[in-house]
Structures are given as C-alpha cells and as structure tokens.
Amino acid sequence: MKLNILGCYSATPRTFTNPTSQVLEINNHLFMIDCGEGTQVQLRKHKIKFNRIKHIFISHLHGDHFFGLVGLISTFRLLGREADLHIHAPKGLKEVITLQMKLANSWTNYNLYFHELNSKSSELIFEDDKVEVHTIPLDHRVYTNGFLFKEKAGDRKLDLNAVLNNNIDVAYYRKLKQGFDVINEDGHLIKNETVTLPPNKAKSYAFCSDTAYNEAIIPIIDKVDVLYHESTFLDQHLKLAKPTKHSTAKQAASIAKQANVGQLILGHYSTRYEDLNLFKIEAQTVFDNVLLGDDGKVFEF
Amino acid sequence: MKLNILGCYSATPRTFTNPTSQVLEINNHLFMIDCGEGTQVQLRKHKIKFNRIKHIFISHLHGDHFFGLVGLISTFRLLGREADLHIHAPKGLKEVITLQMKLANSWTNYNLYFHELNSKSSELIFEDDKVEVHTIPLDHRVYTNGFLFKEKAGDRKLDLNAVLNNNIDVAYYRKLKQGFDVINEDGHLIKNETVTLPPNKAKSYAFCSDTAYNEAIIPIIDKVDVLYHESTFLDQHLKLAKPTKHSTAKQAASIAKQANVGQLILGHYSTRYEDLNLFKIEAQTVFDNVLLGDDGKVFEF
C-alpha cells in the first residue's frame, strides 16, 4: 500500500498548504479520498495518473474536503476520459455536481456514478476480490464518514522446492494456493502446510477526518496497520476542538492506542501552528509510532 | 487603473497556469472579474487584500471562470469578513452557491448579495460617483457577458495661481471644480476656463472573455483605453475556434482595430501552444498595440 498525501491542512487553501486530499494505492486501485480545492493541480505536481482513479470517497460536505471535485470531474472530461468514475459521498453531492454541469451545459462523456451515503452505521461500500472499503461513521458538525480500506487475505504461496520434491502435478497448484491438501503423482496425500507458505499479510488503512474524539470508532479500526486521524488542534486549544468537533493530537493518539493500530499519521492541522513537530511530540506522550502527514509526503507500508 | 492578471489560461488549472481571474483597481475599488479554481491562492501569492474586494463579476458559468468562487466566499467567512460582498453573475450561480452553503451548514456572517444577470442587451450594473460598470453581451456556448469599466469624467482642476490672482473666495472652489463661472471678491465675473484646468482623462477597460468573433460588441467598447479580448486559438486553429465559440488572436486584433481601442491585452490561451509570442505576432499583423496577458502580470494605465 502506498499513501500519497496531496493536502492535509484544514480550512482554506494557501500558497504552500493544501486542503484535504489523499490517493491510496492498494492492490492496483488508486482510491482518492477527499478532494479540496486545488487537488487536480496537486495530482499533476505529484505525477499521479488521472485515469487510474476510478473511485473517489468524500468524507463530508465541508468545502475543504470537496470544492476541488467539480473541477476534477470537468478536467477528466476535457482530457477525454472514457473510464467510469464512482463517487462515494454524503447525500447532496450529486445535486451540487449535476446542477453545475447543467448550468455549464457540459456533461461528462464518461459514466459518472454517484453512490450517496446516509447510513449512521459502518457499511461495506466497495468490494472486489482483493479489497473491501467500509465507512467509519464520525462525529462532526455535518454528516461525516471516515473510510476503512482492507486488503482481503491473499492466497497461500507455493514453496516451490517443496512442491517439486513432492512430485505434485502443476494442475493442483491453484488448489494448493487456496489451502487445500492434494494427492501427488505417486498417490500420496500431501498436507498443504508442508508445501506452501502463509499469504502476505493483508494490510489495512483507516482515514478518519474530520471528527471529534470518538471512541465509537475503536472497534471498527481495531488493529489497522495505519490510521490517519485528524489532529486539527494541540491540547492547549482543546476548548476550540470541542465546539468545532475536531480532535487534538493527544486525542488522536489516544484513539490509536486504544485501537492497537500499527502506525498513526496525523493531519488536518490548523494553520495557526508554525511548528508541526509539536503535534508529533504531543501525540507521542500517548502513542509511540506517530508520523506527521504533510502535503506531498508518500508513505509506503 | 491597475489590472492584476491572476489567471488567463483556458480550461483546466495546471501547475504553472491558472484559469481566468483578474482584479481591476479603479478609483479605490478592487473589482474581481471571474474566479477560476485556485483564485484565492493567486490572491495570496500576489498579496491582494481580500477585504478590499467588494464586487465580483462572473462572465459565465463554465468552470474555468467560477469554480474558485464558492471557496473564496467560504474563505472570506473563515477570515471573519464583515464587509458586504456583491456577486454579479448569470442566473443560476446563486442556487449553486447557496446549495453548497446549505449542505455544509456554513452561512456567511457577512452580507452576500447576488445580482443575477439574464439580459441580452448591454446594461448598467454598477454605478457610484466615480465609476460605471456595464455588461457587454458576448457570443459563447452559454449565456456570457463581458464587462466595461468606465471612470466618470472627474472634476476640473484648480489652476491655483490663477485662482489666487483673481481674488476668489475659497467657498467658491467647489463650484469652480464643477465647471461653474463665479463672482470674485471685487464683484467681477470670472470665467471658469480662465482659472481651471481640464479633469484627468476618464479611463476605461473592457473585459471580453469568452466569445466568438462578434462585431456586435464594437459600439459598446468603442475607444476604450484597454481591451482584454480572449484569444484561445491561433488562426491556424480557426476551425476549432468556430464550433467552440472562441476567438483567434487575429480576430481579437480585428475587434480592437475596429473599436479604435488604445491597447489590446490577449489571454485565455489554449495550453496547446508552447510559445505565447505567436499570439502577439499574429495579432500585430492587424493591430499594433498588443500586450500579452500572463498569470501574475500587472498592467498600469
């Protein structure tokens, strides 16, 4: 998995800071998460192929998370896109986008599908043979979801030497990868675990922004490899975090600790702070494995 | 007058080119014209004071001319704006903006006025004691207006030596500036032109984008000091200009010549061309005084 942070600052786009957008590369998918103003320029700067993005997940309808979407949809059209595009977003977004296409008399020449969300429980919103995406209901000022991306457990891997030594017909290899015992050319039963190795570990990534401190998400994100959790404020501004339904770095770390996640990436910083390291220092008082998200950073895991 | 070109490329925002937006400084007003995606970042880069913008004029509802507006309106709110904001735009924009504010549950704390346009004739849409703004109906794929900004003729200027020599009471100075003859302290009639000088020349600026070649605008922009006219294409691509209702550099120059304007500024270039000088060279075959618009350029006149 590879996570491209295109923007991770709250509120308004500025000369050197961008509102929220990420592209997660997972099992050959490029999933975009949120799309603040300027995201299409960030995609160009970071040389991410527009056409490989087939699914866009929008957490909520505050401008810093979706004002770049209508322009991206329009640019896809101008670039001659043919591939389908799926938008998973809170109810209301379809109306906003289609109204603007109607006024411009500019409809897409590719298929554009809106999957509008309104459930308050976690739900499976995308699945293929390798990946699942679930919503993570968050607690913000408007209806908001985080997203949990989970690889499915892959096939077992052949231990090629062992397979050859055991004289197994090639036609059984698929069954071996699926975990079955097989009969070899000599008529003997070969136990699966003697000729295969465990699959690569299925990885998982949870995106949680924007949200107040919310323990209800802990069971959903339990033991994810990587958690991106917003930390708009430092603890010194807890009084601002509460009414705006945002989190502090310390709260993000507390969620990470309780959910036993592998790594925590912080982001959605208020631009009032000059030194991002303060976020890391604060979070590490609670949870060790903290990374600072920043525009243009790429995390591989 | 001072014209700040924030963006003057057609279609999509790119790493080093921005969609249309300009800020015209005229008689203490900062008028914004069009507001493509990323305009608020361009304002920051060029250090234009957000709060001094009270009127925004939107030519038409293609994305490259207004997708940055909703974010700018939202940023004004986050910056604690108190001043009124007036948006002059084609009918439909109010619905787009208010729908997004409703979904975000984020209403402005300043007064936001929409002045929706739908007339197909030139009309006066703003006036104070120093400036007038008129629409310039253009010929594009959707309802589109250019905008004509005209200073009003100012007061005559006192020729102070002459005024003193003629023994005129200070209380008459205002009348002199307004062009009246006055009686001096000795009871003589003093002819206005003997003690005053003509006012500064009232300047005018016409913004015409996007439009097909359209001679109907010539009487409206007759003898303006500066004409910004779109030149999306070079003459070699006239076949593209026609169906898309855009102009070539040569056509822009022909309009400038027929309208006897002072200077022509080109812009709204298609990004297919690597060398902007080709636009200038082509236009100058028809009209001499051609300037190339470009992002970040400031023209004073």
pLDDT tens for B51-83 read: 999 999 999 999 999 999 999 999 999 999 999
Domain boundaries, chain A: 2-154+200-300, 157-197
Q: Taking 90 as the threshold, does the pLDDT of residue A11 lie above it?
A: no
User: Across the interface, do B41 and A13 touch by the CB < 8 Å criterion?
Assistant: yes
The second-level CATH assignment, the architecture, of B2-154+200-300 is 4-Layer Sandwich (3.60)
Q: What is the pLDDT of residues A158-201, one digit of tens each?
A: 999 999 999 999 999 999 999 999 999 999 999 999 999 999 88
What pLDDT does A235 receive?
Answer: 98
% of residues, chain A, pLDDT over 70: 100
CA distance A107 to chain B (A): 12
Which of A98, A121, A93, A99 is closest to A34 using CA atoms? A93
**Cis link prior to A210 (omega < 30° from 0)?**
yes
Q: What is the pLDDT of residues A110-147, one digit of tens each?
A: 999 999 999 999 999 999 999 999 999 999 999 999 99
What pLDDT does A200 receive?
Answer: 86
What pLDDT does B5 receive?
Answer: 98
What pLDDT does A153 receive?
Answer: 87
**Cis link prior to B210 (omega < 30° from 0)?**
yes
Tokens 């009639």 sit on residue: B189
What pLDDT does A154 receive?
Answer: 86
Tell me what the mean pLDDT of segment A51-70 comes to.
97
Mutate to test the interface with A, among B6, B10, B12 (most CBs of A within 10 A): B12
| Cα angle A209, A298, A66; round to 5 | 35
CA distance A41 to chain B (A): 5
Tokens 């192929």 sit on residue: A49
Q: Which residue of B has its CA nearest to A107?
A: B62
Residue B200, SS3 per DSSP: coil
Give the A:B interface size as CB pairs under 8 Å: 101
CA distance A124 to chain B (A): 24
Tokens 């003690």 sit on residue: B195
- How many C-beta atoms surround the C-beta of residue B220 within 10 A? 18
What contacts 24+ positions apart, CB below 8 Å, involve A234-241?
A234/A273, A234/A278, A234/A279, A234/A282, A235/A282, A237/A270, A237/A272, A241/A212, A241/A213
Q: Taking 90 as the threshold, does the pLDDT of residue B203 lie above it?
A: yes
What pLDDT does A74 receive?
Answer: 97
Which of B215, B276, B102 is closest to A96 using CA atoms? B102
Which residues of A are annotated as part of the binding site? 60, 62, 64-65, 140, 210, 268
Examine the residue annotation and report whether B186 is marked as an active-site residue of this protein: no
What pLDDT does B154 receive?
Answer: 86
The two tokens of residue A275 are 């030194």
What pLDDT does B295 receive?
Answer: 97
The two tokens of residue B165 are 């020599």
- How many C-beta atoms surround the C-beta of residue B178 within 10 A? 11
Tell me what the mean pLDDT of segment B16-45 comes to.
97
Instruction: List CB contacts of B42: < 8 A, sequence separation 6 or more.
Output: B6, B7, B18, B21, B295, B296
| Paired residues of B189 in beta bridges | B183
Set of chain A residues whose Cβ sits within 8 Å of the Cβ of B142: 103-105
Pick the catalytic residue from A34, A64, A235, A295.
A64
Q: What is the pLDDT of residues A112-121, one digit of tens each?
A: 999 999 999 9
User: Across the interface, do A142 and B100 touch by the CB < 8 Å criterion?
Assistant: no
Which of B243, B37, B225, B280 is closest to B139 using CA atoms? B243
Tell me what the mean pLDDT of segment B94-102 comes to.
97
Give me chain A's average pLDDT, please.
96
Q: What is the pLDDT of residues A13-49, one digit of tens each?
A: 998 999 999 999 999 999 999 999 999 999 999 999 9
- How many C-beta atoms surround the C-beta of residue B170 within 10 A? 7
**What is the 8-class DSSP label of residue B142?**
S
Residue A169, SS3 per DSSP: coil
Tell me what the mean pLDDT of segment B88-106 comes to.
96
| Chain B interface with A: residues with Cβ < 8 Å | 11-15, 37-38, 40-41, 44-45, 61-63, 67-68, 70-71, 74-75, 78-79, 90, 92-93, 95-96, 99-100, 103-106, 141-142
What stretch of H or E contains A253? helix A249-258
